[in-house]
Amino acid sequence: QVQLVESGGGLVKPGGSLRLSCAASGFTFSDYYMSWIRQAPGKGLEWVSYISSSGSTIYYADSVKGRFTISRDNAKNSLYLQMNSLRAEDTAVYYCARGGPGGGDYWGQGTLVTVSS
């Protein structure tokens, strides 16, 4: 069965960095677009970034462009999100999802990122 497991969240000070990982299993990872979506406490969903199956096509939300970098390692069935220059407004649960704007059909359980001094 399809499984997506995020890790790497935690408490970080403003201006700090964090790297999130998403371990995928149960499907051919290299065949699928992958995405990061976040949800601030008590708020709605916000798309962050997505990457094509080969990694050649990448898009970011304007709110994270220049600060976050998405990447993938198809040999390790893993998706990553490097987050730099973190701000308080980046505080959220970060989900990885299989797929892109056409529909994320499987989501992980999320990892909480808290940016606070």
Partner 1 sequence: QSALTQPASVSGSPGQSITISCTGTSSDVGGYNYVSWYQQHPGKAPKLMIYEVSNRPSGVPDRFSGSKSGNTASLTISGLQAEDEADYYCSSYTSSSTRWVFGGGTKLTVL
E strand map for the chain: 3-7, 10-12, 18-25, 34-39, 45-51, 58-60, 68-73, 78-83, 92-98, 106-107, 111-115
Beta carbon nearer to partner 1, 35 or 115: 35
Beta carbon nearer to partner 1, 14 or 59: 59
Number of shown-chain residues binding partner 1 (CB under 8 A):
22
Rounded to an integer, what distance in angstroms lies between the CA atom of residue 94 and that of residue 47?
Answer: 10
How crowded is residue 49: how many other Cβ atoms within 10 Å of its Cβ? 21
Q: Does 32 bind partner 1 (CB under 8 A)?
A: no
Q: Does 41 bind partner 1 (CB under 8 A)?
A: no
Q: Does 111 bind partner 1 (CB under 8 A)?
A: no
Site string for partner 1, 68-107 (x = CB under 8 A): ---------------------------x----xxxxxxxx
